[in-house]
Chain A
Amino acid sequence: MSKDNANSPAVVLKEVSKHFGSKKAVDQISFSIPQGSVTAILGPNGAGKTTAISMMLGLMDPKCGSVEVLGRSPKDLKVRRKIGAMLQEVSVMDQLKAREIINLIRGYYPHPMSMEEIMALTGLTPEDLNKMAVKMSGGQKRKLGFALALAGNPELLFFDEPTVGLDTSARRLFWKTVRSLAALGKTILFTTHYLQEADDIADRIILFKDGRVAADGSPAEIKNKLTTRSVSFVAEQDTQHITARLNQVPGVTGVHLEDGRMYISADNTDQVLAVIFREELPVRDVATDTGSLDEAFEQLTQVTEEAV
């Protein structure tokens, strides 16, 4: 461990873009991941999460912008000795047993994790380890992929959609292990399209949409941003005047009439209420509502899938 990167960020992306033909997979993304943090890249399929991870791993070059991992290029051997990754596609080698593959990968690193520790963390049994890797079941292969990510005892771990194809109990075991790895001070970055997973595990969520960062913050902040709030009331007269006035309030995103009530969607409903009462607008029966979080996230997901 060199002194120069002891306190520097684990990952820094600066205005990174990547195109495939005319499609912008990743568009002008910037963020920095501090060491020791657990970050989720959350977004629907096709939002550019895997492309972003591939660039952080040095598997793809950005078209423009810069990617730094542990203060260096992700392709630097010194960096690769300190990172581990589980990719979406599980990779195995034919004609070798699981144990042989794990030991081969362990041999590539200067300070590998012990086989006992790998077994304890992944839940791989001695019988699993004696199997030919290509003959393992989907769930076992996932565990093997996890074991290979851990083999070098890395400081920084990348997991791309780690729980896809896992059953509930395997999922729970995986996240429990990730928490214990985080407790050891490892930096963890994972992608997911489940809001629940990101909320439960991460201390920060970077929300991707259409190749851009749509939001970046703590799970509470992201949830706050995703939920739509509104003020509703019954207008007693002159709805046009009220609509015009409230549309001028900063943060108001929409006004609509439904079943005789007017609904004002806004980032900050307090401000809307203040205007209503201060200016004594002719309204009655005022209420505030908070939309469902899942609904909001689902909506975001659907819109993007249609666009692909």
Chain B
Amino acid sequence: MNGALIRLQCKMELLRIVRNPYFIFWSLVMPIAFYFIFTRVVNTGSPDADAWQGHYLMSMTTFSVMGSAIMSLGIRLVQERTLGWAVFMRITPLPGSIYFFGKMFGQALLHLLSIIVIFTAGYLINGVQLEAWQWILSGLWIMIASAPFLALATLIGAMKRVETASGVSNGIYLVLALLGGMWMPLDIMPPFLQAIGRWTPSHHFTSGGWDIAAGNLPELRSVLILTGYLVLFMLLSTYVRKKQQAV
């Protein structure tokens, strides 16, 4: 019975995601438009155009995936609670673990879709050429290293109102994108912002992609810092939920 349950749950999650117009705009149209502007329209003065195009493709793909992780999961969790759906789920015989799995599966497919579409856009717009292992490894990196942002989304998902959650997640998303160097290189920012930026999860998420696009492996430091954030957000989210349930 569990196999059928999982399939059903995943199918419905997917339907909901695909029908959400905000996803298409924020996760696909925005990053691709940015990519086009900063590699074709604006002259960034980068000495090696090929390297820059690969580099910025990673910036925009991580930007997109981080956005759908924080925004769509977090806000959807709040929505489900305010609509009373989360309570209703608790009286149905659906095990909580399958409910959670369905959510994560939907989210993973969403990320995979973003990666494929934006990588394809990079190829079509600039003819970005990477080795096969670089495409695959960077795709995998973006899938796996998005975990801290999903954990952050569950923290946002604990908020009471959709409006608050949507405002807060928008803010976090833009600040992380800017400070992480996803939009423009950290080097052109004031030193104190650079110093903060180098400790953000977004910076390490995207720089892992840059490393792979440059023919290297992500730094160990990035892996460690992202793992640290994952643990931190998971602990915080668990703590907040426990506190909310203790009525």
How big is chain B's contact interface, by range?
Answer: 20 to 34
B42 proximal to A (CB < 8 A): no
A110 to B12, CA, bound (A): 19
Most chain B beta-carbon contacts within 10 A, residue among A57, A94, A100: A94
Mask, B2-26, CB within 8 Å of A = 1, is 0011001100100111011000000
Asked if B87 contacts A91 (CB within 8 A), the reply is: yes
Most chain A beta-carbon contacts within 10 A, residue among B12, B85, B91, B93: B91
B124 proximal to A (CB < 8 A): no
Q: Which of A42-58 contact B (CB under 8 A)?
A: 57-58
Give the Cβ gap from A77 to chain B, nearest Cβ, in Å. Answer: 5
Asked if B84 contacts A89 (CB within 8 A), the reply is: yes
Minimum CB distance partner of B85 in chain A: A91
* Interfacial chain B residues near A60, Cβ < 8 Å: 247
* Interfacial chain A residues near B85, Cβ < 8 Å: 91-93
A-B interface contact total, Cβ < 8 Å: 68
* Interfacial chain A residues near B92, Cβ < 8 Å: 80, 105, 108-109, 152
With A92-B83, A95-B19, A110-B1 in contact, do A104 and B90 touch (Cβ < 8 Å)?
no
Interface size, chain A (Cβ < 8 Å) = 29
A131 proximal to B (CB < 8 A): no
A148 to B12, CA, bound (A): 16
* Interfacial chain B residues near A83, Cβ < 8 Å: 91
A162 to B104, CA, bound (A): 34
With A77-B95, A92-B85 in contact, do A59 and B90 touch (Cβ < 8 Å)?
yes
Minimum CB distance partner of A78 in chain B: B93
Minimum CB distance partner of B19 in chain A: A95
B79 proximal to A (CB < 8 A): yes
Q: Please list the residues of chain B having a beta carbon within 8 angstroms of any beta carbon in chain A.
A: 1, 4-5, 8-9, 12, 15-17, 19-20, 76, 79-80, 83-85, 87-88, 90-95, 247
